[in-house]
Structure 1
Amino acid sequence: MTDNIDISPIGLLTGKVVFITGASRGIGAAAARLFAREGAAVVLAARSTDTLQRIVAEVRADGGDAEAVTMDLTDQASIRAAVERVEELYGRLDGAFNNGATVQRPGPLDTTSDEDVEAQFTVNFRAHWTAMAVEAELMRRGGGGAIVNTSSIGGRRANPALPAYGAMKRALNSITESAAVTWGRQGVRVNGIAPGGTATEMMDAWEAVSPGIIERNNAATPLGRMAEPREVAEVAAWLISDRASMVTGAIVPVDGGAGA
């Protein structure tokens, strides 16, 4: 399956209000379009307001329900305010896709700077921690919901080229599982997805500083290619949907078999 294949929507998320971080590009933007086509009202969050508004306009032109909110993942108050805005707009939250992330400068552990480590902690770990807490609080008031966090294949094994990134993604896996156990009896499911190489701007940036990384990724992937952003978003959509009603605490690989 690729983005070139027309897959008819089936109403997987009909009637749900879903909040998406990192929604201005890549997997997040693909999720915004997909979730709306599947019937969700989507609230898109990122720093780039202009880009978000273009996606909102596209979703609305296609008959979908979308709103945008500016949010900075380095600012905990900004994250809380964005989720509060969801409540103002819709009165509830049924699903959240915590997808926003930043990548470190590629290089081995002993050349990774303190600044890189701090940035990875702030955006790829603490922001998810904060977002999950406020999302779950709103969901519990409405009777439950489902949260999906974007992890990475780099959080499942050694990641010598991106050690700080991999470390924070592994930590994210841990808090995803802990949250699932903590909030399960309150009706909140929490899962993660672990994409491998995906055709996004982030991967293009890595290729620019490490030429050949995409070719090596494809060679190490049994399906022989990178994922399209929509293919990753499809898994998040299913996990948020009621079809995944008994799935919580899972970290689902979306890597074409690269981690097998």
Structure 2
Amino acid sequence: MSKPVVLITGALTGIGRATALAFAREGARIVVSGRRDEVGQALAAELRAADAEAEYHRADVRHEDDVKRLVDSTVARFGRLDVAVNNAGTEGEIGPITGQSVENFRATFETNVLGTLLSLKHEMRVMLEQGSGSIINLSSVAGQVGFPGAAVYVASKHAVEGLTKSAALEGAAAGVRVNSVAPGPIATDMFERFTGGEAEAKAGFLASIPAKRAGAPDEIAQTIVFLASDKAKYLTGQNIAVDGGYIAQ
């Protein structure tokens, strides 16, 4: 399909924003979503300035009514849904297990796990009926390994990878592919928060990466564009680590 319809949650910053711009360069029709209307409208305008058909819709992935409305509005506008990128996520509160709260667990899992589940539910509802589609969930290297001080975030990303595998099995025979991408440290605001904004902590983390650097948001975006394309049409149920070699150690 020359102009696929692409829906991106959590699209207003970082990897989500880079992904929207990457799909715009491919000529896609794009719906971006998030919770900051002014930023979302500005991004949609920027995408249109790049000759992409684009719209912004406010949605909080923790609420099913929002997710259903987002998917249905996308289909109403463009007639179908070819690609969905479930990028909305949070790192939650970083700290040792002994200091974790029920509130942090709920807030992190509601965004990262429930948000992904609800997005899959309504995206697959459309894609299964149309007999095609590609969904890419955003995991993390934390979906495959542990990190001290980040148990809740790590657990939530392990759950995202489990959802990805199960959804892929449910969609495969109908032509719906579901994969996930697991970024390593990427030069975004989330990475700054994850390392506490401390230069020493950031340098120590990057020193543990074989590539010896943080990734760029567009490097993740390009992987997502590939997974969404027909070049990956026999690829489903997989988690692709884009991490400078971190989990190969």
With the length of structure 2 as denominator, give the TM-score of the two structures. 0.96
| Cα-to-partner distance string for 1:147-186 (whole Å, 9 max, x where unaligned) | 0000000110112221001001001101100110111001
Instruction: Determine the structure 2 residue equivalent to 1:142.
Output: 130
Distance in 2 separating the partners of 1:31 and 1:100: 12
CA contact (8 A) 2:96 2:149 kept: yes
Does 2:224 align with 1:236?
A: yes
Instruction: Determine the structure 2 residue equivalent to 1:44.
Output: 32
Does 2:98 align with 1:106?
A: no
RMSD (Å), alpha carbons: 1.2
Greater than 6 Å deviation, 4+ residue runs: none
Instruction: Determine the structure 2 residue equivalent to 1:184.
Output: 172
Instruction: Determine the structure 1 residue equivalent to 2:200.
Output: 212
Distance in 2 separating the partners of 1:100 and 1:216: 27
| Cα-to-partner distance string for 1:61-106 (whole Å, 9 max, x where unaligned) | 1111111100012212111111111011111100000001011211
Distance in 1 separating the partners of 2:131 and 2:201: 45
Cα deviation, residue 122, structure 1: 0.4
Instruction: Determine the structure 1 residue equivalent to 2:79.
Output: 91
Does 2:22 align with 1:34?
A: yes
Distance in 2 separating the partners of 1:80 and 1:213: 40
CA contact (8 A) 1:217 1:226 kept: no
Cα gap change, 1:41 to 1:78, in 2 (>3 Å): same
Among residues 18, 23, 26, which one is paired with 2:11 in the alignment? Answer: 23
Distance in 1 separating the partners of 2:124 and 2:19: 20
- Percent sequence identity is 36
| Cα-to-partner distance string for 1:25-72 (whole Å, 9 max, x where unaligned) | 000000000011112111001001111111111111111111110001
Cα deviation, residue 112, structure 1: 1.2
Does 2:236 align with 1:248?
A: yes
Q: Which runs of 5+ in 2 are unaligned?
A: none
| Cα-to-partner distance string for 1:4-23 (whole Å, 9 max, x where unaligned) | xxxxxxxxx73100100000
Does 2:66 align with 1:78?
A: yes
Instruction: Determine the structure 2 residue equivalent to 1:125.
Output: 113
Distance in 2 separating the partners of 1:146 and 1:72: 21
With the length of structure 1 as denominator, give the TM-score of the two structures. 0.92
Instruction: Determine the structure 2 residue equivalent to 1:7.
Output: none
Aligned amino acid, residue 164 of structure 1: V
Aligned amino acid, residue 167 of structure 1: A
Q: How many residues align?
A: 248
